[in-house]
Chains A and B, each alone.
Chain A
Amino acid sequence: MDVELIRLTKRYGNTTAVDAIDLKVRSGAYCCLLGPSGCGKTTTLRMIGGHETVSSGDVVIGPHAVGNATPAERGTAMMFQSYALFPHLNCRDNVAFSLKMRGMGKAERRAKALAMLDLVQMAHLAERLPAQLSGGQQQRVALARALVTGPKVLLLDEPLSALDPFLRVRMRTELKRLQSELGITFIHVTHSQEEAMALSDLVVVMNGGRIEQAADPRTVFERPATAFVARFIGGHNIIRLPDSTEIAVRADRMRLGPQAGSGAVPARVVSVEYQGTSVHVGFEADGLGGPGATALTAVIDDAAYAGRPLALGQTVSLGWDAAAAHHLSA
C-alpha cells in the first residue's frame, strides 16, 4: 500500500526530531531512509509504525490517515533493530505470537508459523529458543514473525547492522528477493549508503530531521541535491567555484595531468590507497574558492594508475570533466 507522510513532525520538548517532512512511497516500493545517527530516520519509521506519537502532521497508509491506530490496525509490521524475539518462546511460537493474539487456534497458527519459517529457510530450527540461534538465524525468525500476519507495509529498523559484513551482503540479497516476491512496501532505515543503494527503489536522505533528497538511487548518486547528500552518499568531491556556487564531481570523473582541462588547479598528493580495481588518490588543492586547502579524491582505474604512478607529496594538475560537474543547491 502507498505510504504518505504529510508535514510529519515529532518534537521532544524543545528539540525537533522530525521537522515537517513530506514523502510519498509508492505501493510495493523498497524505500530506504538513509542518514547519520540522530537525523530522525528511526523516529520517522516509528511514527509510521505507530510506536511513536505524532506531534503534528499525518501518516497516510493506503486510503486513510492512520491517526493513533495500533500497528495491527495500520497493517504495518516492524522488524526491530535488536530483533526483539521473545526469549521464552521457541521460533515457531515467536512467529505464531501475533496469530495467537488474534485468537487463532493452536494447530492453525502453528501450521502458518511453520510455513512462514519455511519461507525464510528456518523451518528446521522451529523448536529452538532464540538464544540458541546465530545472529543471522535470529534475523530470519524476526523477519518471519513480522511477515506472518501479511502486513501491507514492512518497517525495518537497521535490520542488518548487527550482522557481520559477509552475512550482511547475503541477507541484503534475501531481503530484496522477499520484497519482490511478496510485493509489499518495505521501509528500511539504514545509515549505510551502500545498503540503501543496493536495495532501494527510493532513497530518502535525511539530515537534522529534514529530507535532503528523495529519489531513486541513480538520481541521488548522479545528481545529489545538496552538498550534504553528495558528502553522505560518498564518491563525490565538493568544489566551491570562484562564483561561490558549489558543484559536486564524482571522484571517478576527476582528470589528472594532460587531461585535466582548462579549469585545472595544481594539487598535492596526500594519500594513495590501492583498492584492487581502482586506486583512490587523495589530493589537497588551494585556490578552489574556499579558504585553505580543499581535500579532494580521485578514483583512477588501476591500469591507468599503473601506467603513470604518483608519489606522495608530488604536485599534479587536477581537473574534471565539465560534463560531470553537477551544481548543488544551497
Chain B
Amino acid sequence: MTDTALSAMPAIAKTPSASTATAGLTAKTRRRRALAYLQAAPMALVFLVFFVVPLGLTLIVSFWAYNEYEIIPSFTVQNYIDVFEGCLNTAEACTTVRTYLSTLKFCALTWVFTLLIGFTVAYFVAFHVRSRTMQMALFLVCTIPFWTSNVIRMISWIPLLGRNGLVNDTLMGMGLIKTPIEGLLYSDFSVVLAFVHLNTVFMIVPIFNSMARIDRALIEAAYDAGATGWQTLWNVVVPLAKPGIAIGSIFVITLVMGDFVTVGVMGGQQIASVGKVIQVQMSALQLPAAAANAVVLLGAVMLMIVAMTRLIDLRKEL
C-alpha cells in the first residue's frame, strides 16, 4: 500500500503544476483570440446585417409560395420551375434563356468597349502624363460626370439621339443622309452606348490604380531588352495591369447584369433584361418569383466571375 502511494506521489505532484502552466497559457491565448474577434466584430456585423441577412432572406423567400394577394411561407421549388419553364424544349429557346442571352450580349459588348476605352484612358493618364498634379487633375475630370445622377445622364442622350435629335439633324443638315437614321435611340445601340458611358469609369479607376504602381524602370528595362512599344504593352503593362482589369471587369459585369433602369430608359421599355424581369415581378408583388430569379441571376454572375478569374490566372501561366 505504501509502495503504491509512494509511486503515485510524484505523478500527483507533477500533474497540478503542469496543468496550471497549460491553463495559464490557454487563458492568455484565449484572451488574445477574444480580442481579435472583438476587433473583427464591427465589420462582421455590417456584413451580417447588410449582406448575409438580406441574401439569406432572399434565398428563403425564393422557396415560398404566392398567389394574387399574399405570399405564403412554405417550401416549394415551384418558383424555380417557373423560371425555367419551357427550357427543356430544345426546338425554341425559352423566355429566361432569351432574356439571359440578351443581357449577356449587352454585358459582353459593354465589357469590350469599357475595357478598351478604360485601358486606353488609364494608360494615357498613367504613362503619357508626366506630372503627378496633371495626372490627378485628369483623373478627377474622369469622375466629374458622376456628380449627376445616372438617370439624368441617360436621359441627356435622348435629345441627342432621337429621331429629330441633334445627331440626325446635323447629318441631314450636312446632306449626308436623306432620312433620319432610325434606331439611334431605343435600340441595342443606345443601350450599349449608355452602358459604356455610365460604366467606363469603373474600368478606368482600378486599371489606372494598377498602372500607377508599375515601376517606370520596368518600361525602361523592356526597352533596353529590345521590346517595341506594343511588345512592352503586351508583355509588361497588360500583365501587371491584370488585377485592375479583373476588378474593373467585375464591376462592369455585375452592374450590367443587374441593371434594369438603363435597359428600360434607353431601350424604350421594349428590350428585356434579367433585372427588368425581376423588377416587373416585384411591382406585381410576386416576391417569391422575383427572389428565385434573383438567386438564379446571382448564380449566373458568380459563375461568370469565377470563369473570368480562371481565365486571367490561366493566361498568367502562359
Interface residues of A (CB under 8 A from B): 49, 51, 70-72, 76-78, 80-82, 84-88, 97-98, 100-102, 145-146, 149
Contacts and interface: CB of A to CB of B under 8 A. Distances in A.
Contacts of B224: 49, 51, 71-72, 76-78, 98, 146
Nearest to A51: B220
A145 B215 contact: no
A146 B217 CA distance: 14
Central interface residue in A82, A87, A149, by most chain B CB within 10 Å: A87
Given A51-B220, A88-B316, A82 B226 contact: no
Contacts of B231: 101
Nearest to A155: B224
Interface residues of B, number: 18
B282 interface: no
Given A51-B220, A101-B231, 6 more contacts: A51-B223, A70-B223, A71-B226, A84-B218, A85-B221, A100-B235
A145 B225 contact: yes
B225 A84 contact: no
Given A97-B235, A100-B235, A101-B231, A86 B226 contact: no
B200 to A, nearest CB: 26
Contacts of A84: 215, 217-218, 220-221
Given A82-B217, A84-B217, A71 B239 contact: no
Chain B's interface: helix, strand, loop or mixed, by majority?
helix
Contacts, number: 61
B240 A71 contact: no
Most chain A CB atoms below 10 A, which of B217, B226, B239 = B226
B117 interface: no
Interface in B84-129: none
Nearest to A76: B224
B176 to A, nearest CB: 44
B297 interface: no
A80 B240 contact: no
B275 to A, nearest CB: 37
Nearest to A71: B224
Nearest to A157: B217
Contacts of B301: none
A71 B215 contact: no
A88 B240 contact: yes
A101 B225 contact: yes
A97 B316 contact: no
Pairs A-B, 6 closest by C-beta atoms: A72-B226, A98-B225, A84-B217, A84-B221, A101-B227, A71-B224
